[in-house]
């Protein structure tokens, strides 16, 4: 069989399998699968358009995120969650073309799908920022701030870069997009920032309870005792060495800053490490990052309830930034 008929055969098989699952599995999935984060999003959106305060313990997204994303989601039928979770798959194919299929095995991607998280839809805008594409990087910077903890360091670095380089295209696009996204939120509720900040102490108390066990950054190793603390010091030293080495190349600096954010931001989980994917440069990197993700998944199962192993994913991605060879 030549290449084209083979693809058509695979496509036909995929359609048959999809049709079979739609008939046999989907009705049951509609009843039993309710992704937690997606449910939080729709509840925040519903609360806002009904005139209530969408902020509470565990619900602390910026009001523009609620207004522009969560409110529209709350109007959609319940089955739309199956469309929503296609975001990571679509993003991988857009960013990496057919080779992106290999990244479907990336463990954090499945965590994002399981909970219906927003992260999968932010991969392409983040890639625009890291590539510093004219105009698109500015727009991407504003979009990824819909979930600011994922890339606020990256956006901050990019804004400083645009100012220094007098990149008025991206700076102007970013400023305009931020005004469009944020101004309506202040018109609807001028006090939304203080209301959001008011729930953060409860979130911090909640985080103090479970973050040492589930955090996906390097800091989680600190809570494993003296052995974990020694490992943390070693990882920090390796991180700084790799970061300095990769930062020498201007085209990689945005990716380095972003990966440092994923490594050291304390309020991240293993699922959030999906945001390391847009930093990948070469085809061979896809297999490496998938294998690392599977390895840390097994490590977590061996240790117990522990997420710090997922910090090895951005650490591996940072190492890949130091390698200039093209596969």
Same domain, yes or no: 222 and 74:
yes
Domain-embedded: residue 54: no
Range of the domain at 259: 33-43+62-321
Same domain, yes or no: 8 and 142:
no
Domain-embedded: residue 66: yes
Domain-embedded: residue 121: yes
Q: Is 90 exceeded by the pLDDT of residue 327? A: no
Q: Between vectors from CA 208 to CA 202 and to CA 214, what angle results, nearest 5°?
A: 120
Q: CA 164 to CA 160: how far, in whole Å?
A: 6
**Which of the residue ranges 92-96, 98-102, 139-143 would you say has the lowest mean pLDDT?**
98-102
Domain-embedded: residue 72: yes
Domain-embedded: residue 327: no
Same domain, yes or no: 28 and 69:
no
What number of other Cβ atoms are within 10 A of residue 199's Cβ? 16
> pLDDT tens for residues 145-154?
999 999 999 9
> pLDDT tens for residues 161-201?
999 999 999 999 999 999 999 999 999 999 999 888 888 76
Same domain, yes or no: 115 and 264:
yes
Number of compact structural domains in the chain: 2
Q: Between vectors from CA 245 to CA 239 and to CA 246, what angle results, nearest 5°?
A: 90
Same domain, yes or no: 26 and 78:
no
**Which of the residue ranges 95-109, 116-130, 206-220, 267-281 would you say has the lowest mean pLDDT?**
206-220
The full 3-state SS of the chain, as one line of letters, equals CCHHHHHHHHHHHHHHHHHHHHHHCHHHHHHHCCCHHHHHHHHHHHHHHCCCCCCECCECCCHHHHHHHHHHHHHCCHHHHHHHCCHHHHHHHHHHHHHHHHHHHCHHHHHHHHHCCHHHHHHHHHHHHHHCCCCHHHHHHHHHCCCHHHCHHHHHHHHHHHHHHCCHHHHHHHHHHHHHHHHHHHHHCCCHHHHHHHHHHHHHHHHHHHHHHHECCHHHHHHHCHHHHHHHHHHHHHHHHHHHHHHCCHHHHHHHHHHHHHHHCCCCEHHHHHHHHHHCCCHHHHHHHHHHHHHHHHHHHHHCCCCHHHHHHHHHHHHHHCCCCCC
Same domain, yes or no: 230 and 129:
yes
Domain-embedded: residue 223: yes
Q: Is 90 exceeded by the pLDDT of residue 309? A: no
Same domain, yes or no: 39 and 9:
no
Q: Which is nearest to 157 in space by CA: 279, 261, 243? A: 261
- The more confident residue out of 213 and 248 is 248
Mean pLDDT of 134-144: 97
Supply 73's token pair.
Answer: 């989601």
Q: CA 155 to CA 229: how far, in whole Å?
A: 30
Supply 28's token pair.
Answer: 């049951």
Domain-embedded: residue 81: yes
Helix axes 253-264, 226-247, angle to 10 degrees: 170
Q: CA 269 to CA 26: how far, in whole Å?
A: 29
**Which of the residue ranges 57-61, 158-162, 195-199, 315-319 would you say has the lowest mean pLDDT?**
57-61
Same domain, yes or no: 23 and 83:
no
Same domain, yes or no: 233 and 185:
yes
Q: Is 80 exceeded by the pLDDT of residue 225? A: yes
Q: Which is nearest to 154 in space by CA: 176, 177, 134, 131? A: 131
Same domain, yes or no: 174 and 242:
yes
> pLDDT tens for residues 61-93?
999 999 999 999 999 998 899 999 999 999 999
User: Which pLDDT does position 10 carry in this prediction?
Assistant: 58
Same domain, yes or no: 158 and 204:
yes
Q: What is the pTM of this model?
A: 0.87
Same domain, yes or no: 104 and 206:
yes
Q: CA 191 to CA 75: how far, in whole Å?
A: 25
Domain-embedded: residue 216: yes
């Amino acid at each position: 069989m030549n290449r084209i008929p083979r693809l058509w055969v695979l496509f036909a098989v995929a359609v048959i399998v999809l049709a079979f699952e739609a008939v046999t599995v989907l009705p049951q999935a509609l009843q039993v699968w309710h992704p937690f984060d997606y449910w939080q999003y729709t509840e925040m959106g519903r609360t806002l358009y009904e005139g209530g305060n969408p902020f509470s313990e565990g619900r602390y997204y910026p009001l523009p995120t609620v207004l522009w994303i969560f409110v529209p989601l709350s109007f959609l039928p319940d089955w739309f969650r199956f469309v929503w979770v296609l975001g990571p798959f679509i993003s991988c194919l857009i960013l990496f073309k057919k080779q992106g299929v290999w990244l479907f095995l990336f463990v954090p991607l499945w965590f994002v799908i399981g909970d219906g998280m927003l992260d999968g839809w932010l991969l392409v805008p983040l890639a625009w920022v890291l590539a510093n594409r004219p105009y698109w990087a500015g727009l991407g910077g504003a979009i990824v701030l819909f979930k600011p903890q994922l890339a606020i360091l990256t956006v901050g670095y990019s804004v400083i870069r645009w100012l220094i380089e007098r990149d008025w295209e991206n700076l102007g696009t970013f400023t305009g997009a931020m005004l469009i996204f944020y101004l309506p939120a202040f018109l609807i509720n001028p006090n939304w920032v203080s209301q959001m900040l008011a729930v953060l102490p409860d979130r911090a108390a909640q985080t103090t309870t479970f973050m040492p066990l589930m955090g996906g950054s390097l800091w989680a190793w600190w809570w494993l005792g003296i052995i974990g603390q020694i490992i943390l010091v070693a990882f920090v030293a390796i991180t700084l060495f790799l970061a300095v080495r990769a930062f020498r190349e201007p085209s990689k600096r945005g990716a380095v800053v972003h990966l440092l954010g994923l490594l050291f931001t304390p309020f991240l989980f293993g699922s959030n490490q999906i945001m390391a994917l847009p930093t990948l440069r070469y085809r061979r990197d896809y297999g490496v990052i998938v294998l690392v993700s599977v390895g840390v998944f097994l490590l977590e199962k061996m240790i117990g309830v522990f997420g710090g192993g997922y910090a090895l994913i951005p650490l591996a991605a940072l190492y890949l930034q130091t390698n200039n060879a093209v596969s």
